[in-house]
Amino acid sequence: MSELFGCLVFRKSFSQRPHRLEDAADVSESKTAARTRCVFCHAYSANRGGFNIVWEDADFLAFRDRSPSCLHHFQVIPKIHIASVKDLTNSDADMVRRMEEIGHSILEQHNVPHTQHRMGFHIPPFNSVHHLHLHVQALPYISLTRRLKYPVIGGFGPFEKGFSWFAEVGQTMRILERGSKVGVFPC
């Protein structure tokens, strides 16, 4: 239940556990197996896992989405296994900001006007891959169905975002910077 209500006051503390597999003092067999099974971790392995890589540096990788919702649809991932946006803390805001910069750069290389840039994260349990990935998209969407997968719902009162399974990258950074967690419910 705490997974669904992660951004509300009664959530459990996440500071008691490592949120990255690499942060654990003893990377157990189950954690190593999880990383081995992660399809996005294969993107930065030696064989590249069949990904169409468009950008890479020492910390991040970007590739074309296999089932694009827009003419230009990419994923930006960190080269460390972080399960999802719900695992991020305020210390990760700079990483998210860097992912956003990479996304803007890729879309600019494809001559996409800034007003058509959309970037964000699906929030568990509404994500399909359990490796943090920033959707980088050039609007418009190819169909109404695809558009409905990425709803950006503004916040109200003390909340940065409303009830939604998708958090826009700016919302995500502001939530993290104020020390909160990203979740499906308003946060």
Active site annotation includes 130:
no
User: How many Cα atoms occupy the beta-carbon half-sphere of 6 within 13 Å?
Assistant: 22
**Residue carrying the six token digits 């001559």:** 111
Instruction: Evaluate whether 138 touches 110 at the Cβ level (below 8 Å).
Output: yes
Q: Which of 19, 73, 131, 135 is catalytic?
A: 135
**Alpha-carbon span 75 to 96, nearest angstrom:** 13
**How many C-beta atoms surround the C-beta of residue 63 within 10 A?**
22
Q: How many CB atoms lie within 10 A of CB 178?
A: 12
State CA 116 to chain mean position distance: 19
Helix, coil or strand: residue 173: helix
Q: For residue 32, what is the enclosing H or E element?
A: helix 29-37
Catalytic residues: 135
